[in-house]
Amino acid sequence: MTESQTDQLPAQQVEAASKAFEQEFERFACFTDASRDLAGLDLDQAIAAERALAELRTRHLGKKSELAAVKKLIGRVAPADRASFGQLVQATEAALVKAIEEAEETLRQYIETERTARESIDVTLPGRRPRHGHRHPITLLRERIEDIFVALGYVIEDGREIETDFYNFTALNIPENHPARGELDTFYTTDGFALRSQTSTVQIHAMQRRGVPIRMIAPGRVFRRDTPDPTHNPMFYQVEGLCVDRGISMAHLKGTVTEFLRRMFGADTVTRFRPSYFPFTEPSAEFDFSCFKCKGSGCRICKNSGWIELGGSGMVHPNVLRAVGVDPQQYSGFAFGLGIDRMCALMYELDDIRLLFENDVRFWEQFE
Ligand code: DAH
């Protein structure tokens, strides 16, 4: 390398380094003017620019940069030119540092302000109210029924939903060949247990556990092999009632059911008992009550009959008492059962009981 070459070359190198820097720095130049409006820039872009700027600094001022290489040449420059060359290198370096630092500072401030703005809370905004849960219409109705019977001195029994043949049929005096026992009507588990098809099963459990006298109601789910339609579901709710004591008669049954319905639908409610048949009661009766809407004059709800059919009832069959070791000579009792879903559908004028189990919050929100 000749003197003149060494002399020339480093100065050119400095200029080249500075040019290369300027080219790359161009896109950051806007940040060196702190008064500039950065309104168009979003926070993520600013953060990305900050990172790119840090890389740029390493590239142009770091140990492996062109400028660092040039610095090493200072000692090799002819002594006469060394001072001015040194100053050139320093001035160039200082210019680069200044440009980068100004841009860095603008970005840093911008990011800080933006972050604070983004994280700040507008206390005047309306809060987000947590949505309150609702009790299901069937639950509401069940609770009303329970309250009435608890006030009449009844206990509430909770049965099981999977039963043996004994509880679901045999103890209830349902004969071996009765169609209800068949798989067409009742669901069975693979090991031969029945999903209870009526809450009457709880009569047996309750009398076995509590003995007699007894007054109890048992609300709960029952299952039947029905195809869902507007008035049927394979799963629905019933309430069972049972009262056993010495000297219980049909009059007690009629009085209790009537009092329950008066408390439920108003003091002017009238009841009607029609002869019927159930294996677990003798005599048996189905009961109706005067329509709560039209009070018996006829309307859409009672299909113009003035009456609403509600459930089955009767005097507990001696065989049922015997099945739980109660002597029918000493004790007698009445029982009744009604469907809650159907009652619910009538009261809320639902034209499809499947709505009760479709889990549509908009439906539930209309209650309570
Ligand atoms: N278990 C009957 C049913 O599901 C309803 C019923 C009728 C219950 C008469 C009773 C009763 O306790 O005595 O259709």
Say yes or no to pLDDT of 183 above 70. Answer: yes
The mean-pLDDT minimum among 43-57, 116-130, 297-311, 330-344 falls in 116-130
Say yes or no to pLDDT of 315 above 80. Answer: yes
pLDDT for the residue numbered 35: 66
Say yes or no to pLDDT of 205 above 90. Answer: yes
Q: How far is the CA of 338 from the centre of ligand 1 (A)?
A: 7
Calculate helix-pair angle for 137-151, 250-265, nearest 10 degrees. Answer: 130
pLDDT digits (tens, 9 = 90+) for 33-78: 766 677 778 888 889 999 999 999 999 999 999 899 888 888 888 8
pLDDT for the residue numbered 308: 96
Q: How far is the CA of 125 from the centre of ligand 1 (A)?
A: 57
- Quote the CA–CA distance of 14 and 89 in Å, as a whole number: 7
Residue closest by Cα to atom 13 of ligand 1: 313
Ligand 1 neighbourhood includes 201 CB (under 6 angstroms):
no
pLDDT for the residue numbered 2: 42
pLDDT for the residue numbered 5: 46
3 state SS for the chain: CCHHHHHHHHHHHHHHHHHHHHHHHHHHHHHHCCCCCCCCCCHHHHHHHHHHHHHHHHHHHCCCCHHHHHHHHHHHCCHHHHHHHHHHHHHHHHHHHHHHHHHHHHHHHHHHHHHHHHHCCCCCCCCCCCCCCCCCHHHHHHHHHHHHHHHCCCEECCCCCEECHHHHCHHHCCCCCCHHHCCCCCCECCCCCEECCCCCHHHHHHHHHHCCCEEEEEEEEEECCCCCECCECCEEEEEEEEEEECCCCHHHHHHHHHHHHHHHHCCCCCEEEEEEEECCEEEEEEEEEECCCCCCCCCCCCCCCCEEEEEEEEEECHHHHHHCCCCCCCCEEEEEEEEHHHHHHHHCCCCCHHHHHCCCHHHHCCCC
pLDDT for the residue numbered 4: 44
Mutate which of 149, 178, 313 for ligand 1? The one with the most ligand atoms within 8 Å of its CB, which is 313
Residue closest by Cα to atom 5 of ligand 1: 337
pLDDT for the residue numbered 122: 82
Going by their DSSP bridges, the two strands 271-278 and 162-163 should be labelled as unpaired
Residue closest by Cα to atom 8 of ligand 1: 337
Question: What mean pLDDT is predicted for residues 244-269?
Answer: 97
Nearest ligand 1 atom to the CA of 337 is: 8
pLDDT digits (tens, 9 = 90+) for 108-154: 988 998 888 888 888 888 888 888 778 899 999 999 999 999 999 99
Nearest ligand 1 atom to the CA of 316 is: 13
Question: What mean pLDDT is predicted for residues 348-364?
Answer: 89
Please report where in the chains the tokens 């070459």 appear, as a residue: 5
Ligand 1 neighbourhood includes 313 CB (under 6 angstroms):
yes
Residue 124: is it exposed, middle or buried by C-beta count within 10 angstroms (0-12/13-18/19+)?
A: exposed
Nearest ligand 1 atom to the CA of 238 is: 4
Nearest ligand 1 atom to the CA of 312 is: 7
320/1: higher pLDDT = 320
Q: How far is the CA of 329 from the centre of ligand 1 (A)?
A: 23
pLDDT for the residue numbered 361: 82
Say yes or no to pLDDT of 6 above 60. Answer: no
Say yes or no to pLDDT of 1 above 70. Answer: no
Ligand 1 neighbourhood includes 336 CB (under 6 angstroms):
yes
Q: Quick one: CA dihedral 193, 278, 222, 147, positive or negative?
A: negative
Question: What mean pLDDT is predicted for residues 156-167?
Answer: 95
pLDDT for the residue numbered 51: 93
Listed in sequence order, the residues at least 6 apart from 150 whose beta carbon sits closer than 8 Å to its beta carbon are 156
Q: How far is the CA of 335 from the centre of ligand 1 (A)?
A: 8
User: What confidence category does residue 8 fall into, taking pLDDT thresholds of 50, 70 and 90?
Assistant: low
What percent of the chain shows pLDDT beyond 70? 97
How many CB atoms within 10 Å of residue 356?
21
Its pTM surpasses 0.85 = no
pLDDT for the residue numbered 32: 83
Q: How far is the CA of 29 from the centre of ligand 1 (A)?
A: 88
